[in-house]
Structure 1
C-alpha cells in the first residue's frame, strides 16, 4: 500500500560510519522526504573460521561498537537516530522495507567476496519487492571512473599504478556534510550490543585489551587534526617501537569509514598550505594509494587473493593445521625477540606498523614455513584496521603469490629487522 508520507529511503551503513564526505547520505537526503539510517551487526562477522581464528577479535569489536555508537550520537544530535539491529542484512533489510514502506535502499559497494555476496542476495530479495538497491562507491581516494585506465587494465605493478594515477587522475573534492536531515520516526531504535554478546570467547581476551584507539567519526577527525597540526608530537600510544617515529594511526578509522580518504587528502593539502610540506605527509598519500591499489586489484581479480596458491599456478598447498609453530607465533613465543615483541604488541593494542607486519609475516612464511593464509586470518582477527583487500593483498605479496611479482624479493627477514629496529632496542625493552 502506497504511503502518503512521501518517499522514504533506507540508508544502510556498513564500513562508512561517518556523516562527512558521504555521497550516499547526501543523495538520500536530497532525494527522500525521510531517511531511515540502519546499521546491522552481522553474526557471521564474529564466527570462528576454518583457519583456527575468529573473523573479528575483541579489540576491533570494541572499536566497531564505539564507531557505531558515535554515528548514532551524531544522528541523534540532528533530531533522528540510527536503527541498530542484529542479523543477516539480506533478511533484516527487506523486512524493514515492508515495515516502513521504503521506496529505495542505498548502500556502499564492497570489493571482497563475502561482502559482495551479501549485497547480491539483498539485491535479489529487494528485486522481488520491486525495490531498488542503489550502489555507491566511497572507500577510495580515487574513484574508479577517474582512473586513467579501466579496472581490467590497471597495472599489476604498484609503482606503475602509482605513477600513472598521480600523473593523470584527479582527487575529487569532498561531499558536504548534511546540516539537516528528515528522519523516519522510530518507536524503537534497537540496542548497540555489548562485546560479550557478539564474541563467543570474549572474557579471556578482554583482559588483554590495552589500546588507545577509540572508534568513531569525532575521534577520527580530532586525531587527523592533531596529527596534521601538531604532528611532531604524535607517536603511537603504548608502542615501545621507535618512540621518535611519527605514526598517523589513521588506518583504523579509514577501515571502518569513520574517516574518508579524500578528507585526509584535502586536510593534508590545507596543512601543507599553512606549514609547507612536512616530510611525513608523503607517507599519508602513499598509504592511501596502497589502499586504493589493493581495492582495485580485488575488483580486478576477485577471490584469487584468498587462495593459498594465489596467482601461482603450481606449488604444493601447505596444510591448514594448527601447529605449535603457528601457535607460538601467534602468542609471541617463537624465541625470535623482535618477532615476539611485534606479535605481543599486535595482541595488546591491535596495531603494528607496516614494516613490523612484513617482518612477522616473512618470519611465519619463510622461516617457520607455515601456510600464509593462517597468518592472514590471524591478522584479520587481531588488526584494529583490518581491511580485506589490504590485508590479504599484502600477505599474498609476502608469500610470493601476489599479482605484483616485483614485490616478491622485497621481503628479507634480516633486512626488515634492520629497518624496524636498527639498534635492537625494541626487542630488549620487551624482553625486560
Structure 2
C-alpha cells in the first residue's frame, strides 16, 4: 500500500499519530502544500498569513525535511492549493491512502471535504486526532454536552482526568513511491511565494526559530536548564523578556510540539522538583487552549460572527480608528508600543494582547473581528481557536460569563510598565 502523509499544522516527528499510520505501508510520501491564497489581501487589506508567520513556517518545514531525511524519507513541498495538488499526486503515483489529522475549524474542514471529493476513485482518507490534548472519547462528557464556561470544563476534566500519552519518534519511514523519485524534495524560499524576506527582530521576546528541533531545545531550557517554569504564575503577565512566559504557543500553533508531549515533560519536571502554582498554571493554560479548540469544533461559524455565540451587540465600527490602531498610530504611547511589537516581531505578550484588544473594542468602538483578523495576519503563533476565542471573550460575545473584559489602559500601564521601560523598547 502506498500512503501520502498530508502535513498541515503537525510539523513534527514525535507524538504524531498521522506518521504512525504510514509505518506499515510499502511506500510513504510526506507532502506539505503552501497555498498562495493565504497571502492575498481581503477587502480590508488583511491576509490570512503574514510574512513573520510564513518565515517561521518555512523554518519549521526545513527542519521537518531534514528530520524526515534521517528516517530515509523527505518532505515534498508544493506551492498551490491542496485540493489540486494532492489529487494530482495520488493519480500520478497510484496512492492508495491519504492520512492527515482532523480539523476543528470550518474553513479547514471545508478544505478537507474538497480534497476528499477530488481524490481518485479508490483512494481512501484516514484522519487522526493529532494536535489535541485529549482523545475525544476519553473526555468526561460528550461533544454536545461540552461545558460552556471554562471553570466548569476544567473542574470536570480534573475530576475525571483523561489519559495522556505520547507516541515515540519513528526509527524509520517507508521510502517514497518509485514514481516520485524524480520529484524535488525540499522547501522553497519566501521569495518563491512572492513575499519579501524579513530580518529577525532582535528586540523580540520569542526566543526560538521554527522547527521541532528548536522547540524541543526551548522546552528543555524552560523546564530544566533555566527552570523558568518555577515562577511562571508570578511573571506570566509581564510584557517583555526571555523567560517571563513559556513562549510555547508558536511551537503548538505549528505543531512543532504536541500538547501531550509538553504535559508529559511538565509531569517529569514536577516529579523531580515538585509541583507548585506555576507548574499548575502551565497546565491551566493548556486546558484553556483545549477548551477553545473543542468549542470551535462544536460551534463552527458562530465563532466568527459579530454577535458570537450569544447573538450579542458589540461595537460595529470600521473606520480610520482601526487603521491607526493596526499601524501603531493611535497616539496612546502604550498601545502604540504594543502594536509596534506585534507588527515588527509577530509576537506579543498575553497581557498586551488583552489590553490592545479591549482598547480597540471599547475605547475605539471597532468591530472585534477586525482586530482578530489583524492578529491572524501578524502573529507567528496564530491559532484559530485561541485567537478568535480570546477576541470574542474580550468583546463579550464568547465564553466569558461576565460579558466581556474592559481594561483601563492607564491602570494597566501603572501596574505593568510604571517606569515606561516597555514603551521605551518599542518606541525606538
Q: Same fold (TM over 0.5)?
A: yes
**Deviation, structure 1 residue 335:** 1.9
Range moving further from structure 2, 258-267 or 178-187: 178-187
Alignment equivalent of 1:268, drawn from 266, 269, 284: 266
- What pairs with 1:4-403 in structure 2 (closer than 5 Å)? 7-30=1-24, 32-126=25-119, 129-185=121-177, 186-200=181-195, 202=196, 206=198, 209-210=201-202, 211=204, 212-232=207-227, 241-243=239-241, 246-313=244-311, 315=313, 318-320=316-318, 323-402=319-398
- 1:111-141 per-residue CA deviation (whole Å, 9 max, x = no partner) reads 1111111100111122x51211111111121
- 1:249-303 per-residue CA deviation (whole Å, 9 max, x = no partner) reads 1110100101010000001111111111254322321221111111101111001
Q: 1:71 to 1:191 in 2, by over 3 A?
A: closer
- 1:350-382 per-residue CA deviation (whole Å, 9 max, x = no partner) reads 111211111000000000111111100100011
Listed as ranges, the gaps of 5+ residues in structure 2 are: none
Range moving further from structure 2, 220-229 or 414-423: 414-423
Range moving further from structure 2, 311-320 or 368-377: 311-320
**Contact 2:18–2:101 (CA under 8 A) maintained in structure 1:** yes
Secondary structure, counterpart of 2:309 in structure 1: coil
Q: Give the distance between the partners of 2:39 and 2:343, measured in 1 at CA.
A: 17
- 1:201-225 per-residue CA deviation (whole Å, 9 max, x = no partner) reads x36xx36844543000001111101
Q: Give the distance between the partners of 1:311 and 1:419, measured in 2 at CA.
A: 32
- 1:45-95 per-residue CA deviation (whole Å, 9 max, x = no partner) reads 222123321111111010000001110000111222111111111111111
Listed as ranges, the gaps of 5+ residues in structure 1 are: 1-6
- CA RMSD after TM alignment: 2.4
Secondary structure, counterpart of 1:135 in structure 2: strand
The alignment of Structure 1 onto Structure 2 pairs a total of residues equal to 416
Q: 1:232 to 1:348 in 2, by over 3 A?
A: farther
TM-score by length of 2: 0.91
